[in-house]
Structure 1
Amino acid sequence: MQEKAKIQHIPVKMYRTADRLMVAAPMPGLQPEDITAQVSEDGRLIIQGELRGMLKDLKELLVDEWSVGGYYRDIELPDMVDGVHANANYGNGVLVIAFPLSEQIQPVTLKLQKTATDRGGRSGNAGHTF
């Protein structure tokens, strides 16, 4: 019998420029389609990553000192952002979201599209690339 994965707190790096708020969060071991980020109407960022199909009894686990998913983080954003035009990228186990700063919060639920093995993205056409 396999134990259900424990939800892990995601550490983040958050920084801003004159027109953007950037959030980076390590979420190793997931596929892009397993990740959801939501900007709520009250200015919170909620990031979730669901683990699916871990090893499927194919390997004998000998040492287990870290876990892959599930991940969860709920954090208050320091600025109002336009979630609709956000760009998101997932690669090398790190989720990076670039939000345009805004005069009012634009809530959104972001889903990533797979672009390659273990890579994904979502373009909100905000004009900046990573």
Structure 2
Amino acid sequence: MAMFFDPFREFDRVAGELLDSRQGPRLMPIDLYRDGDHYVLNADLPGIDPGSVDIDVDGQLLSIRAERTPRSQAGVKWITRERNAGSFLRQFNLGQGIDTTAISANYENGVLSVVIPVSEKAKPRKIEVQTSSGPTAVETHAETTGGSTTTESATA
């Protein structure tokens, strides 16, 4: 197997790790999207033991923590080692329109999927308006974005 080795690239990587003042939680790339009445957060955590994943909700703050332990290979000479071991942490502000009691998570093939449902009070609903000539339906639509809720209504 032919392999290109650039000693300066390796030196830059090692110097970056040694001089990095962050030395804290590692990067955890995510995708977040809304699908109907829930949000789906997918986080890449390859090589993580599912037992080390911790998901906590404190008020409106969702925290995801994970730990990748180094695999010791006694007697081997590393050519390159780019998969860092250590702690991973991401925190998300959920906003007011989230049902924090119904959040669920699944870890499969190195991807952590967290399903975050929208609360019932933030979902669209019909409200009946009483008039002297009889009931009239009014549809309201509440939408939560970035922690604030906006409400639109139209009379029929």
Query: What TM-score, normalized by structure 2, do the two folds share?
Result: 0.54
Aligned with 1:72 (options 86, 89, 100): 89
User: Is residue 103 of structure 2 the alignment partner of residue 86 of structure 1?
Assistant: yes
CA–CA distance in structure 2, aligned partners of residues 68 and 26 of structure 1: 14
User: Which structure's residues are more often strand, by fraction?
Assistant: 2
Q: Note the C-alpha offset of 1:100.
A: 1.4
CA distance in 1, matches of 2:75, 2:111: 25
Does structure 2 conserve the Cα–Cα contact (< 8 Å) formed by 1:7 and 1:71? yes
Instruction: Give, as a single letter, the amino acid of the residue that structure 1 aligns with 2:102.
Output: H
Q: How far is 1:59 from its partner?
A: 5.8
Cα 1:68/1:92, change in 2 over 3 Å: farther
Structure 1, unpaired ranges of 5+: 105-130
Asked if the contact 1:29/1:69 (under 8 Å) is kept, the reply is no
Find the counterpart in structure 2 of residue 98 from structure 1: 115
Whole-Å separation in 2 of the counterparts to 1:33 and 1:55: 16
Taking structure 1 as the reference length, the TM-score comes to 0.63
Change (3 A) 1:51 1:59: farther
Query: What is the rounded CA distance, in whole Å, between the counterparts of 1:98 and 1:30 in structure 2?
Result: 19
Q: 2:31 aligns with which of 13, 32, 36?
A: 13
* Pair member with larger Rg: 2
Which among 39, 45, 52 is matched to residue 57 of structure 2?
A: 39
**Structure ranking higher in helix proportion:** 2
The one of the two structures with greater contact order (alpha-carbon pairs below 8 A, sep at least 6) is 1
Deviation at 1:58, TM superposition (A): 3.3
What is the deviation of 1:38? 1.5
How far does the alpha carbon of each residue in 1:58-92 deviate from its partner, in whole angstroms, 9 at most, with x for none? 36232112324421111222553223322211111
Number of equivalenced pairs: 98
Q: Does 1:55 align with 2:71?
A: yes
Specify the SS of the correspondent of 2:115: strand
Question: Which residue identity lines up with residue 55 of structure 1 in the other structure?
Answer: R
Counterpart code for 1:87? S
